[in-house]
């Protein structure tokens, strides 16, 4: 029977990789220190494989297919963010076994043998796994393209994977890459729900998971917590094990949390009593911040996606925005918004997915800096 020797949940914010000068460097350092601290656990427990549960910021899959859960089976996988790339071995035998085991237990799990992963995987590979040569099993959860699965469905998938894992003999670590409260690309980008984060942390520390698993996808959208879906898969794998906080940082746009579940850590203080949901009262009846991407906006979203994932296209866009926009099959109002808005914020009202709008802004700013530096050096 396989043994889960380590399990943790980890922030993967791209700012931990890009280190933009406007961010609080001390808080970024505290977050990466927490990630590295959990990495030391991997060194101590020496797992044979890591099940790395991440998500897609529309870097891996595109609107031709939006799977709920996907396992990657290629012998090797590449994780990429702007100019940074890292490769990792995949434990394909274990991954294939988990795929078959999930399907045998009535989960129609998607698989890919050709997936380029994004910063949800690159960040833990960089700061948690580090130089340790441990093969991974990448598992992607859809958290940003509604309709998304429910927390209970994610938890049930974890249980199915654990049942399949019990047929194996490996020592396994689990990393859930995601969270906590943030609203990337939306009007609430600089208004995370830190009080809800506090409640989540207190519930996990007390080993209470019923209220968390009873949340709906629309609830998660309302408080900026959809990335907790990766945590719920992990909880299904490990059972209702309390988690201990390694670090939590409040940035202007994001609650950065790192939590260790296994090996269990002693509680260093009494678990505080936090008002249910951090005092939040849910009001949404449908997705508000990450809505279903309407088909009429496909070409606008395609252009933003290309800016994010295609280095040559991104460079051309920075050099001559008007020419790139003129060649794209866009609606007139979309062209106007792209030409007039440096921030891309106006595009969300026209149907751009907020995550694409934000990511395009971020990578375009980095490309501008790169081109300016190159011009100065010549």
Q: Positive or negative CA dihedral for 358, 63, 137, 4?
A: positive
State which residues form the domain around 97. 3-279
Q: Is residue 141 a part of any domain in this protein?
A: yes
Are 80 and 203 in contact, with CB atoms under 8 Å apart? no
Q: Are 15 and 28 spatial neighbours (Cβ–Cβ below 8 Å)?
A: yes
Domain boundary among 224, 250, 279: 279
| One domain for residues 50 and 172 | yes
198-232 pLDDT, tens digit per residue, is: 999 999 999 999 999 999 999 999 999 999 999 99
Listing DSSP states for 166-226 in one string gives: TTS--EEEEEEE--SS--TTSTTTT---HHHHHHHHHHHHTT--HHHHT--HHHHHHHT-G
User: Is there a contact between 179 and 225 (Cβ–Cβ < 8 Å)?
Assistant: yes
Exposure on the CB side of residue 291, measured as CA atoms within 13 A: 15
Note whether residue 252 is domain-resident: yes
Same domain, 272 and 308: no
Q: pLDDT (tens digit, 9 = 90+) per residue, 124-164? A: 999 999 999 999 999 999 999 999 999 999 999 999 999 99
Establish if 326 belongs to a structural domain. Answer: yes
pLDDT of residue 358: 84
Cis-peptide into 263, omega within 30 deg: yes
Q: What secondary structure letter does DSSP report for 270? A: P
Measure the CA–CA gap between 79 and 84, rounded to whole angstroms: 8
DSSP string, 23-70: S-HHHHHHHHHHHHHHHHHHHHH--SEEEEEEE-SSSS--TT---SEE
Task: Inform me whether the pLDDT recorded for 344 exceeds 80.
Answer: no
Nearest Cα residue to 203 out of 237, 169, 241, 254 = 241
Could you write out the DSSP letters of every residue in 122-178? HHHIIIIITT----EEEEEE--SSSS---HHHHHHHHHHHHHHHTTS--EEEEEEE-
Give the pLDDT band of residue 58 (cuts 50, 70, 90): confident
pLDDT band at 342 (very low <50, low <70, confident <90, very high): low
Are 352 and 304 spatial neighbours (Cβ–Cβ below 8 Å)? Answer: yes
Among 144-158, 225-239, 295-309, 340-354, name the one with the lowest average pLDDT.
Answer: 340-354
Instruction: Grade residue 94 by pLDDT with cuts at 50, 70 and 90.
Output: very high
**How many domains is the chain built from?**
2
Judge whether 287 lies within some domain.
no
Same domain, 258 and 337: no
In the chain, the percentage of residues whose pLDDT exceeds 70 is 98
Domain end position, chosen among 248, 279, 310: 279
125 and 203 share one domain: yes
Closest CA to 79 of 65, 59, 107: 59
Q: Which H or E run includes 366? A: helix 354-377
The answer on 300 and 275 residing in a single domain is no
Kindly report the number of other CB atoms within 10 A of residue 327's CB atom.
10
First to last CA, the chain: 61
Contact present, 99 and 71 (Cβ < 8 Å): yes
User: What is the pLDDT at residue 269?
Assistant: 66
Q: What confidence tens digit (pLDDT) does each residue in 225-252 have?
A: 999 999 999 999 999 899 999 999 999 9
- CATH code at 259? 3.40.830.10
Say if residue 77 is in the same domain as residue 208: yes
Place of tokens 């959990």: 38
> Do the beta carbons of residue 98 and residue 161 sit within 8 Å?
yes
The alpha carbon of 38 is separated from its chain's Cα centroid by a whole number of angstroms, namely 18
């Amino acid at each position: 029977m396989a043994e889960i020797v380590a399990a943790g949940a980890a922030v993967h914010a791209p700012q931990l990789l890009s280190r933009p000068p406007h961010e609080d460097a001390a808080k970024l350092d505290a977050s990466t220190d927490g990630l590295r601290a959990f990495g030391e656990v991997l060194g101590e427990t020496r797992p044979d494989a890591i099940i790395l549960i991440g998500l897609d910021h529309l870097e891996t899959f595109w609107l031709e297919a939006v799977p709920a859960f996907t396992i990657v089976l290629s012998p090797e996988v590449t994780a990429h963010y702007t100019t940074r790339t890292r490769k990792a071995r995949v434990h394909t035998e274990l991954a294939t076994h988990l795929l078959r085991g999930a399907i045998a237990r009535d989960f129609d799990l998607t698989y890919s043998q050709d997936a380029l992963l994004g910063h949800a995987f690159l960040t833990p590979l960089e700061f948690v796994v580090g130089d340790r040569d441990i093969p991974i099993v990448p598992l992607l959860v859809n958290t940003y393209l509604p309709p998304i699965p429910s927390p209970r469905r994610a938890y049930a998938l974890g249980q199915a994977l654990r049942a399949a894992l019990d047929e194996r003999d490996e020592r396994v670590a689990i990393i859930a890459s995601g969270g906590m409260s943030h609203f990337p690309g939306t009007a609430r980008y600089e208004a995370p729900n830190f009080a809800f984060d506090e409640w989540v942390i207190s519930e996990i520390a007390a080993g209470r998971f019923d209220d968390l698993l009873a949340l709906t996808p629309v609830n998660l959208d309302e408080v900026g917590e959809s990335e907790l879906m990766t945590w719920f898969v992990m909880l299904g794998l490990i059972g209702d094990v309390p988690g201990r906080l390694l670090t939590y940082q409040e940035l202007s746009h994001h609650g950065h949390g790192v939590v260790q579940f296994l090996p269990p850590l002693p509680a260093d203080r009494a678990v505080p009593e936090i008002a249910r949901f951090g005092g939040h009262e849910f009001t949404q009846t449908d997705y508000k911040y990450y809505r279903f991407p309407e088909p009429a906006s496909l070409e606008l979203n395609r252009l933003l996606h290309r800016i994010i994932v295609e280095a040559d296209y991104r460079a051309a866009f920075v050099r001559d925005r008007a020419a790139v926009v003129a060649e794209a099959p866009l609606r007139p109002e979309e062209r106007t918004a792209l030409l007039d808005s440096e921030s891309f914020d106006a595009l969300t009202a026209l149907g751009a997915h907020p995550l694409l709008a934000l990511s395009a802004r971020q990578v375009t700013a980095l490309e501008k800096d790169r081109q300016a530096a190159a011009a100065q050096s010549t």
